[in-house]
Each structure stands twice: as C-alpha cells, then as structure tokens.
C-alpha cells in the first residue's frame, strides 16, 4: 500500500470517528434538553396546599401519618396539643415553623410518576407500607381542607397528591415531623449539674440511701451522708451518675398521670444548694418505664418549682430503659451497707 493510500485511509477513519462523536453529542444534548422540558410544568411556583394561606387561621387539626405512627396536632381552649399524648402541649415554635412552611411550600420541577420509584424519594404511601408522610389539614367543622404526601431525600423535599403518582421537588422547607417526639415540649427542667447538692434514693422495699457533696465539690464528690454515713461507697462514678440523673432527664413520650396502672418502684429526690427539691417517682408500666415529677421550693419567690410543676404536674414521662436505670439503681451497686451494731 502506497503512502498516499495510507494517508487517505487515515483521513477517512478520523472523519468517521469525528462524525460518530458529533452524533453522540447531539443525542446527549437532545436528551438533556428534553429532560429539562419534561421537568417544567404549568404549576411551577404554585402553592402545594391550595388556599392554605387564606384558611390557616381556621385550621383546627393537622394529622401526620407515617409507616410507624399516626399523631394529631389539635387546637383546644388550652392551646395546641397532641391528641395521642392525652392532650400534652406541643412546641409552639415548631408549629409556627410548620404552618409558615406549608403556606409558602410550592411546586418545583416535576420528578417521577412511576409508583415503583416513589419510595426512593420518600413519597411512598404510608398506608401501603411506603416511606412518605401524609399530612392532612382539617378545618373548623372537621372537614379535610388539604392533604399532601411529603418526603425527603438529601437536601430536598418532595411532594405529591395522595391520589396522584406524579412527584415534584418542592420549593421551601418544613420542620422535622417524622416522630411525634419532635413536637412535644419536653424542656421541663433546666438545672446545672453544679447546683445539685444531694440526692435521696428510695427503692421499692423502702430502703434509702442519702448522698451529699460539699459546696464547690466536683461531680464525683458525692458520699454517703447521715443517716448512711457509715456505708462504704463502692464507685464514685456510679454515685455521681445517680446523683446527677435529674439534670439529664430526657423524655421520649408522655401520658396522663391518671393513666399509670402500677405503684412506684422507687423515688429519686434531688436537692440543690439553694433550696429547690425535685421529687421523681419511677414506674415500670406494661408499656414502658415512666416517671412523674413534683418540685418544691422554699420562699415566696418559688418560681423555679412553679415553672417545673406547670409543665410536669399531672403527667407521666416515658424514659429509655438506659436513662431510667440512673434514677433507680440497685442500692448495693452504689454502697456496701454498714453492719448494724449489736446491742
């Protein structure tokens, strides 16, 4: 083959490669363009909840349905509460964030309309085992005003109508609502650990242990005090964990104290250096472990105790088993009891 023929063949191959690349580029750009066009629609920027801005002041209930739970925020004469928590107050800052978010939530680009793909973006019907959250808004007469299924994936919120598989990426933001705990106002006690002076532990047999520390003492300076001064402390860490448990109180659910069906299995009475006392009673119920609280404070300005009782009185709070044990530790895990002297 001559050099001229080789050069001609080379030019032909290069030309074919260039033409192929151009074709693939045009195909790619065509697909990209059609994808963008498919994402556009006439409702871009339109509110997801039609008319909500005009009716938000009349809303009486907002119900959330997830795969694992259903709970309802309800307007009452006492304010907004959670029905499934025996009417316990909800966080008003979170409610304000929700209502404001729902009012401005609007449709963004269109996404999948394939029912088999909805769970991937959190929009599967929770009534059918899906990953979405159904939000229903009810008006003054109990009528359903708005309903939407929402989901999250990454930094985006997705929405769709409960009776339509067409999904959209939403413009806007909403507060967390995937568990009822996010709504319940469990900011009950705010005490610094350095303020706790002593704790009295009482078990189901009415056996007691009194632990105390000096003013300015560190977290592990609690020791048995009269009438338990002769008990031998086994673990400073364990004593500290029990003595300071009240400052770590972290409820996971709530119900009316009237709903408790068992007797207390223990008491945990914390005292501060400046006279605040918090009496916690512990219950092991069929549906979990619960505590009740009552605060007492000497003096005319007993505002801290009143603030605690305003939130806690009449209620029982569920704890995790792990946290519950800090309030009712076996006394023999903290001290070795002194042997009573014989007469």
Strand partners, 168: 110, 159
Dihedral sign computed on CA atoms, order 180, 182, 185, 191: positive
The per-residue b/e assignment along 216-235, b for 16 or more CB within 10 angstroms, e otherwise, is eeebbebbbeeebeebeeee
The token pair that represents 274 in the structure block = 């400046």
Asked if 244 and 219 count as a contact pair (C-beta separation under 8 A), the reply is yes
Contact predicate 191/247, CB 8 Å:
yes
Q: Do residues 308 and 278 touch, judged by C-beta distance below 8 A?
A: yes
**pLDDT for 67:** 92
**Reported pTM:** 0.78
pLDDT at 38: 61
Q: What per-residue confidence (pLDDT) applies to 170?
A: 95
Q: What's the confidence (pLDDT) of residue 7?
A: 52
Q: What is the mean pLDDT of each run of 10 residues along the chain (343 residues)?
A: 50 49 48 53 85 93 95 95 94 94 95 93 93 95 94 92 95 88 91 96 96 93 95 95 96 96 97 95 97 87 87 96 97 89 63
Q: Residue 41 region, left (φ>0) first, then alpha (ψ -120 to 50), else beta?
A: beta
């Amino acid at each position: 083959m001559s050099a001229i023929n080789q050069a001609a063949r080379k030019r032909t191959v290069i030309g074919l490669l260039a033409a192929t690349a151009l074709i693939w580029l045009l195909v790619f750009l065509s697909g990209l363009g059609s994808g963008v066009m498919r994402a556009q629609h006439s409702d871009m920027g339109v509110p997801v909840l039609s008319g909500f801005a005009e009716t938000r002041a009349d809303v009486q209930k907002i119900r959330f349905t997830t795969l694992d739970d259903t709970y309802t925020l309800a307007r009452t004469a006492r304010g907004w509460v959670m029905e499934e928590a025996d009417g316990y107050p909800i966080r008003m800052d979170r409610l304000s964030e929700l209502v404001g978010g729902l009012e401005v939530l609007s449709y963004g680009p269109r996404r999948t309309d394939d029912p088999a793909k909805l769970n991937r973006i959190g929009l599967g019907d929770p009534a059918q085992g899906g990953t979405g959250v159904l939000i229903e808004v009810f008006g003054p007469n109990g009528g359903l005003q708005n309903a939407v299924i929402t989901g999250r994936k990454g930094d985006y919120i997705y929405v769709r109508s409960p009776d339509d598989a067409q999904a959209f990426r939403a413009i806007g933001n909403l507060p967390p609502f995937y568990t009822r705990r996010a709504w319940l106002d469990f900011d009950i006690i705010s005490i610094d650990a350095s303020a706790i002076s002593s704790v009295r532990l009482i078990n189901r047999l009415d056996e007691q242990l009194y632990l105390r520390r000096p003013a300015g003492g560190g977290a592990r300076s609690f020791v048995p005090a009269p009438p338990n001064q002769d008990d031998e402390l086994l673990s400073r860490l364990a004593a500290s964990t029990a003595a300071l448990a009240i400052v770590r109180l972290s409820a996971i659910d709530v119900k009316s104290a009237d709903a408790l069906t068992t007797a207390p299995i223990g008491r945990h009475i914390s005292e501060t250096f400046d006279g605040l006392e918090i009496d916690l009673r512990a219950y092991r119920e069929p549906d979990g472990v619960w505590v009740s609280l009552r605060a007492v404070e000497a003096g005319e300005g007993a505002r801290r105790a009143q603030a605690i009782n305003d939130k806690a009185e009449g209620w029982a709070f569920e704890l995790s088993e792990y946290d519950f044990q800090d309030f009712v530790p076996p006394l023999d895990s903290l001290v070795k009891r002194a042997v009573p002297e014989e007469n």
